[in-house]
Structure 1
């Protein structure tokens, strides 16, 4: 299992030149597997819960491999044209504008499709010739088929916790990819991550991680997700601004996790137990 902090990436491209490497603390052999797959031209699927490190991992690996990264946040309305491109009116002319996937194919960038199962299945089918031995992108509207430039890599991610009959990767897509599974890191490593990313001391990080671990052990239907490393970091950052641990945990951890009144009261009680104010 692999895992660490993951921050939501916005659509866009950024290169490694002159930039500091994104912070990533490896848990297992995920870096070796990703590197081997990339060098062999194999596509990668990252599986794991929200906020466990998938996006940050891709950012770090793109930097390490010296490739620009183009990230697409997938959603229900994402169309094939959104990925591949479309004709647009510019002034008095109609011109073709590449989509992010086509740009990555032409430029030899790594294309990262975040939460790919949120996109319609008829959209993701366009990935098949890119994800197998062909490494090609057919663009029907242009009547051309692009060969992926050297350096191109395809990475997708999704959260198995949201799987359903309607939202899942097609088997034909899955079997074209190398899978890397992510989970939350061991407490000691998570404490280091929270301390580093939030800028808090070791004791504060340890308290937040213990609280997060306790939430992850809960068995309740009122929580769709458990406390991720991301929300623990957010709580830590609030304490840096002067909020108490209770205030920070309520705002950054308990609040985002549920709208259920009963579960919210339970989390508030846990905050009192795990993040009690120091005596005196």
Structure 2
């Protein structure tokens, strides 16, 4: 829609009326990080795929324009591509790509939610939009025990969340599994860490997490089985990144 010991009540985590976390765009602090690779700009008209099928191989990542593609680090061999249905849409598609000798190999195509109001190139606290850009994925965690993640995994009861989402859906279980998206955070720390290098006003706590059936505050959410599969697939040795935004912006 964090410090491990900063467990406070907030009304802004992932659309919750009351939450025990500062996830999905809630308040933060300041610090140092390697986080943002770049935020690609503008709008085009490349429709996202909604087909869920077998893996395929392409030389380049589909739907990405030259500026977005150039923002992916050369050492990155895994890309989680999140393609929003539109700049103001809370619906998106997620595909994990692995770099091979012949090109990028696509995994399954999963439907997902993003922020209530869609996407932005200039994310700020409480704008109810997900940040567009290319961000590293270095840290994971959740309420449930580590299922076998190769990313560092912080199991904590502080990932408990309650209340209802924007469409009245219960939020319980949303943080059973999370992967921190390195937007305005310190890499190499728990997703619960409260450090905000760009300042609190730029938001933070942007995660991949379990879908609760409605829009998020700023995160990207996947059904639980897909979220677990993604968590198990991500390999820090392959320097995974997430490329996220509406289809038009990513086509730039």
TM-score over 0.5 for the pair: no
Task: Name whichever structure is richer in strand by fraction.
Answer: 2
Task: Name whichever structure is richer in helix by fraction.
Answer: 1
TM-score (norm 2): 0.27
TM-score (norm 1): 0.25
